[in-house]
């Protein structure tokens, strides 16, 4: 087994998943302001440090994705954030794209930027303690979208990013997110997501990326949020598995789903059913941001000094998702 494959498996094995704490300063500001907490560097660090030092980290979280600001911060106990994450038995990751911008030639679509200077930035992040990275491509669904241009451009960027990351001895998370915004059916989501993922892997292979040292972070197959009929959780699970079986090469060690607009409970329930029906060799786990943090954030905002109470809520959500990653979650356990 390669070193990269070992890292990928360590992040996802035994029901562990990924805490996506890589919100940009602008996104984190929105989150904090939504619960009436001032967004200062100190407050952003305080909330994240509370999560990173929670006991649930050791049991349920295999990796944490950080943002540039966070990976360079020092905790209240004067150690670096990657050191804290490491002492909790988890692996440090870093978001390395610089965001999605309007795609020239297709005004309603986005292309993710950040390849310029990436090789040098990766070396710096590696020195800071990062062992894996994340890059998100984003696609919208409509009658015309995603266009061939968007599918190809983002796949190419994800592949170039992945090759540079592996060159620096880190594991790339490949995140092609087909958004749930829109009026599309689940079948349309299945068709477009399959096309997007297949194209990504064609480019990864072309760029000589070692697929055994990659983690895929896809969306689940859902109907659009404006679609007239909501599909059952069983259908979400079955369509998602069909998509991955048809689109992902068998060498890929694991899949860590994004929660993408689902509620905390929905994201957990759907992951659980995916694992109940999982007849593949892929580890099916989670890489959740809001679906791991939202309840803890709401509780914390009422009293930002209540560390223990905030950690208790985070530990519970992490445990629920870990059980779902093993197909052992049930609604009764939520209470």
Domain CATH code at residue 253: 3.20.20.70
Q: How is residue 218 written in tokens?
A: 């896809």
Q: What is the distance between the alpha carbons of residues 184 and 320, in angstroms, rounded to a whole number?
A: 30
174-203 core/surface letters (b: 16 or more CB in 10 A; e: else): bbbbbbbebebbbebbbebbbbbbbbbbeb
Whole-number average pLDDT of the chain: 97
Q: Which one is predicted more confidently, 1 or 291?
A: 291
For the residues 185-213, what does the mean pLDDT come to?
98
Of 184, 264, 271, the residue nearest 231 (C-alpha): 184
70-106 pLDDT, tens digit per residue, is 999 999 999 999 999 999 999 999 999 999 999 999 9
pTM: 0.97
How does residue 229 score in pLDDT terms, banded at 50, 70 and 90? confident
How does residue 160 score in pLDDT terms, banded at 50, 70 and 90? very high
For the residues 217-224, what does the mean pLDDT come to?
97
Question: What pLDDT sits at residue 335?
Answer: 84
4-51 pLDDT, tens digit per residue, is 999 999 999 999 999 999 999 999 999 999 999 999 999 999 999 999
Determine contact, residues 54/299, Cβ cutoff 8 Å. no
For the residues 243-260, what does the mean pLDDT come to?
97
In the numeric block, the tokens 């059913």 are attached to 273
What is the domain range of residue 240? 3-334
Residue 264 scores a pLDDT above 70: yes
Question: What pLDDT sits at residue 1?
Answer: 63
Active site residue ranges: 217
Q: Domain total for the chain?
A: 1
Residue 221 scores a pLDDT above 70: yes
Question: What pLDDT sits at residue 29?
Answer: 96
């Amino acid at each position: 087994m390669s070193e990269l494959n070992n890292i990928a498996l360590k992040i996802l094995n035994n029901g562990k998943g990924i805490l996506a704490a890589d919100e940009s300063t602008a996104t984190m500001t929105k989150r904090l302001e939504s619960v009436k907490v001032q967004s200062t560097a100190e407050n952003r660090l305080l909330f994240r440090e509370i999560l990173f030092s929670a006991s649930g980290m050791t049991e349920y979280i295999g990796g944490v994705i950080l943002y540039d600001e966070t990976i360079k911060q020092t905790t209240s106990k004067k150690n670096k954030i990657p050191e804290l994450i490491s002492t909790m038995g988890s692996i440090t990751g870093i978001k390395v794209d610089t965001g999605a911008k309007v795609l020239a030639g297709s005004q309603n679509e986005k292309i993710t930027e950040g390849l310029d200077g990436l090789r040098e930035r990766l070396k710096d992040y590696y020195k800071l303690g990062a062992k894996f990275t994340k890059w998100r491509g984003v696609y919208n669904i409509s009658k015309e979208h995603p266009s061939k241009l968007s599918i190809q451009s983002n796949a190419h960027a994800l592949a170039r990013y992945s090759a540079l990351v592996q060159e620096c001895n880190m594991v790339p998370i490949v995140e092609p997110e087909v958004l749930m915004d829109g009026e599309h059916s689940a079948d349309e989501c299945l068709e477009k997501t399959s096309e997007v993922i297949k194209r990504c892997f064609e480019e990864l292979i072309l760029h000589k990326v070692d697929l055994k040292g990659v983690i895929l972070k896809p969306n689940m197959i859902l109907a659009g949020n404006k679609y007239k009929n909501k599909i059952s959780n069983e259908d979400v699970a079955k369509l998602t598995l069909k998509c991955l079986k048809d689109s992902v090469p068998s060498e890929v060690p694991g899949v860590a789903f994004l929660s993408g607009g689902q509620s905390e409970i929905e994201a957990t329930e759907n992951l659980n059913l995916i694992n109940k029906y999982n007849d593949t060799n892929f580890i099916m786990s989670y890489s959740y941001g809001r679906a791991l943090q939202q309840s803890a954030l709401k509780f914390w905002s009422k009293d930002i000094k209540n560390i223990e109470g905030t950690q208790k809520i985070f530990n519970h959500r992490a445990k629920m998702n870990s059980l779902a990653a093993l197909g052992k979650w049930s609604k009764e356990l939520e209470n």
